[in-house]
Amino acid sequence: MRLNQVTVGSTDIDRSERFYRLLGLRLIVKTDDYLRFECPAGGSTFSVERVSAIPAGEQVTVYFETDDLDGQYQRLRGLAEFSQPPTDMPWLWREARLRDPDGHPLCLFHAGETRRNPPWRLDPPDSR
């Protein structure tokens, strides 16, 4: 099984298009009510669909991994409001947090090998 995409709602599809292009995603599908982006690495896609309102309390944090978290932060910090600058976390990732224009929480991070293989992984890769 492979994860194909994550889709979030937006009350302003044009604003979302500008924001996610700014993050570095490549627009591959566009209609009046739907956008699909391709992530620059890894082949996954990310979608935005037009909604009339964002329901309160219905939020999912979307994580975008980057090899240059600090560079991305420097590039974006005057263009997007970050709630957390790049910070080393106890789970061995470096993360920065922000919200998209519709309020969806986003995490830009760099984890390297620990993303899939942290020291506390239940089934180490060499045991399969």
Residue 121 belongs to some domain of the structure: no
The one-digit pLDDT tens for each residue of the chain (128 residues) are 577 788 999 999 999 999 999 999 999 999 999 999 999 887 789 999 999 998 887 778 999 999 999 999 999 999 999 999 999 999 999 999 999 999 999 999 999 888 888 888 898 666 55
Residue 15 burial (10 A CB sphere; 0-12, 13-18, 19+): middle
Residue 12 belongs to some domain of the structure: yes
Residue 122 belongs to some domain of the structure: no
Q: Which residues contact 108 (CB under 8 A, 6 or more apart)?
A: 63, 64, 65, 66, 69, 72, 73, 95, 96, 97, 98
Per the structure, the complete domain to which residue 49 belongs is given by 5-115
Residue 125 belongs to some domain of the structure: no
Residue 128 belongs to some domain of the structure: no
Structure confidence at residue 89 (pLDDT): 95
Domain tally, the chain: 1
CATH (domain of 109): 3.10.180.10
Residue 126 belongs to some domain of the structure: no
